[in-house]
A = this chain, B = another copy of it.
Amino acid sequence: MATQRRAVVLLSGGLDSTTVLAIAVREGFEAYALSFRYGQRHTVELDAARRVAEALGAARHVIADIDLTVFGGSALTDNSIAVPHHDSVDDLTADIPVTYVPARNTVFLSFALAWAETLGASDVFIGVNALDYSGYPDCRPEYIAAYEQMANLATKAGVEGRRHLKIHTPLIQLTKAETIRLGRDLGVDYALTHSCYDPVDGRACGSCASCLLRARGFTELGLTDPALAPAG
Sorting the interface of chain A by its residue count into under 10, 10 to 19, 20 to 34 or 35 or more gives 35 or more
Give, as a whole number of angstroms, the nearest-CB distance from A166 to chain B: 16
Q: How far is the CA of A137 from the CA of B67 in the complex (A)?
A: 26
A96 interface residue per 8 A CB criterion: yes
Q: How far is the CA of A100 from the CA of B73 in the complex (A)?
A: 32
Q: How far is the CA of A151 from the CA of B159 in the complex (A)?
A: 21
Q: How far is the CA of A72 from the CA of B114 in the complex (A)?
A: 9
How many copies of this chain sit in the oligomeric assembly?
2
Within 8 A of B (CB), among A127-162: 137-138, 140, 142-143, 146-147, 149-151, 153-156, 158-159
Do A113 and B103 touch (CB < 8 A)? yes
Give, as a whole number of angstroms, the nearest-CB distance from A36 to chain B: 9
Contacts of A65 in B (CB 8 A): 65-67
Binding site for B on A (CB under 8 A): 62, 64-68, 70-73, 96, 100-107, 109-111, 113-115, 117-118, 137-138, 140, 142-143, 146-147, 149-151, 153-156, 158-159
